[in-house]
A and B are shown apart, each in its own frame.
Chain A
Amino acid sequence: MIALIMFLLVLMGKKFGLSSNLRAMCSIGGAGKKYTFFDYDWKASSWNLFFALGTIIGGFVAAHFLSTNIAIDLEPSVIADLHQKGFSSAGTAYAPTSLFTTSVFSDPGSLSMLIIGGFLVGFGARYAGGCTSGHAIMGLSTLQLPSLIAVLGFFIGGLIMIHILFPIIFGQ
């Protein structure tokens, strides 16, 4: 179905990629006046902002009208591992309550995970020239070598975080 969406976008003469919207939003905010990278015709990609807005609405519709039990049915060994790291909601929730409920605002450690994580995603996506949708789906579907390297990078980064940095962060 993700492929179907990509086809429809391609057939409408567009491309699939969510992270470009972050650049467009910086430009709308006026960043183009000072930095050439944001001085581009973002209006030409305003269709993508509608797509992103749709994604937000889609999330709302799915969570509120199309879901009854949203607990993720994880592998038991993963649940045990997450519990050990302090994610006590693993196995009973859609996302960790320690990170994604308002309790995070009084927990500097979890809050910094969100801030640093988001920052790296925004920075890395633009540096790499695309995110999961733009590189892993659109780029690989059109058989582009840079996308393969980028996706490899996504996994190198992800594996470093989960297997090397997480044990340090969570002191195991």
Chain B
Amino acid sequence: MKNISFLLLGIFFGIIMFKSEAASYFRIYEMFQFKSFHMYGIMGTALALGITGIYFIKQFDIKSFGGNSIAFQDKDKSFPRAIFGGIIFGLGWALSGLCPGPMFTMMGAGYLPVVIVFFSALAGTFCYGVIRDKLPH
């Protein structure tokens, strides 16, 4: 039953991704050209609200719906991981115009070739898992 609420949240997210045009290849291109405020507005707003909200959750120890304390998982503190992984991700993001969220959104929206991007991303994830011991972490 709980999964239904995640499904509904996902639907909401997909609609926002499509309607905000964050799933558009053109918007991503425009963002990297610094020619429009559009994407920066979307992410900036989300961040400003996000930082404020998380601050209040931490400050007042707001409990989850289940009544538990909320623990925030720290990201792995590895410089090479973040920078090399980030750059590789950025290259792919600009090339395909899609990050994982919009990938799902665009498949749903009926852009068939995005299925190729999705399976390539799966292959990329798989390759990372295979060679991760050989990468600087």
Q: Which residues of A are interface residues toward B (Cβ below 8 A)?
A: 1-15, 18-19, 21-23, 25-26, 31, 35, 37-38, 46-48, 50-64, 66-67, 72, 74-75, 77-78, 81-82, 87, 90, 94-96, 99-102, 104-105, 111, 113-133, 135-147, 149-163, 165-166
Cα–Cα, bound, A135→B94 (Å): 17
Contact between A121 and B108 (Cβ–Cβ < 8 Å)?
no
Among candidates B8, B96, B129, residue contacting A26 with C-beta atoms closer than 8 Å: B129
- With A51-B13, A140-B47 in contact, is A111–B116 under 8 Å at CB? yes
B residues apposed to A, CB below 8 Å: 2-19, 21, 23-33, 35-36, 42-43, 45-47, 49-51, 53-54, 57, 62, 64-66, 68, 70, 72-79, 81-101, 103-114, 116-130, 132, 135
Give the distance to chain B from A32, nearest Cβ to Cβ, in Å: 9
Residues of B contacting A22 in the complex (Cβ-Cβ under 8 angstroms): 100, 121-122, 124-125
Q: Are B121 and A119 in contact (CB under 8 A)?
A: yes
Query: B89: shortest Cβ distance to chain A, in Å?
Result: 3
Shortest Cβ gap from B46 to chain A (Å):
4
The main secondary structure of chain B at its interface with chain A is helix
A residues less than 8 Å from B117 (CB atoms): 114-115, 117-118, 121
How distant is the Cα of A129 from the Cα of B86 in the complex, in angstroms? 9
Contact present for A104 and B86 (CB under 8 Å): no
Closest to B69 in A: A13
Give the distance in Å from the alpha carbon of A135 to the alpha carbon of B87 in the complex.
Answer: 13
**CB < 8 Å neighbour of B14 from A57, A146, A150:** A57
Which single residue of chain B is at the shortest CB-CB distance from A35?
A: B129
Q: B91, A161: Cβ atoms under 8 Å?
A: yes
A-B contact pairs, 18 of them (CB 8 A): A15-B72, A51-B9, A57-B7, A64-B110, A104-B116, A114-B114, A116-B92, A118-B103, A118-B124, A119-B124, A120-B95, A122-B122, A126-B124, A132-B93, A137-B46, A152-B86, A157-B90, A157-B91
